[in-house]
Amino acid sequence: MIVNLVGNYCNQKGNDNFRVFTFGVGDDCDKSLVKEIAIAGHGSYNFAADTNLSVLKTKVIDALSKAQEPALSNCTFDFGIEKKDSSLNEDSLMDPS
């Protein structure tokens, strides 16, 4: 399936900066496919239910703007939560005594 191909390619080592942005045009587009490909490709999706070119143009420009923004890579987050005591194990947590 195309969604798997996109996801596999985007997740390969060396493709960290590769993102896929999708557009669904018209009411008959496959909305699920448009969303799934964008999610698998670490991008975003847009729909233009109306075939009005000005609406589509605005959405394309928005997607191109997003494509120019750097994607997060090799990030770590610290929420200020200390690690729990490593001496605790599952058995000591289950035993109420």
The ranges assigned to domains in the chain are: 2-70
CA distance 66 to 87: 46
Q: Which of 13, 8, 20 is nearest to 74 (CA)?
A: 13
Residue 92 is predicted with a pLDDT of 54
- Distance separating the N- and C-terminal Cα atoms of the chain: 54
pLDDT in tens, 45-54: 888 876 677 8
CA distance 36 to 30: 10
Backbone angles phi, psi at 45, to 5 degrees: -130, 155
Higher-pLDDT residue of 91 and 6 is: 6
Q: Across 8-12, 42-46, 53-57, 80-84, which has the greatest mean pLDDT?
A: 42-46
Residue 64 is predicted with a pLDDT of 81
What pTM was estimated for this model as a whole? 0.57
Looking at the predicted structure, is the pLDDT value of residue 61 above 80? yes
Higher-pLDDT residue of 80 and 46 is: 46
DSSP helix/strand/coil, 68:
helix
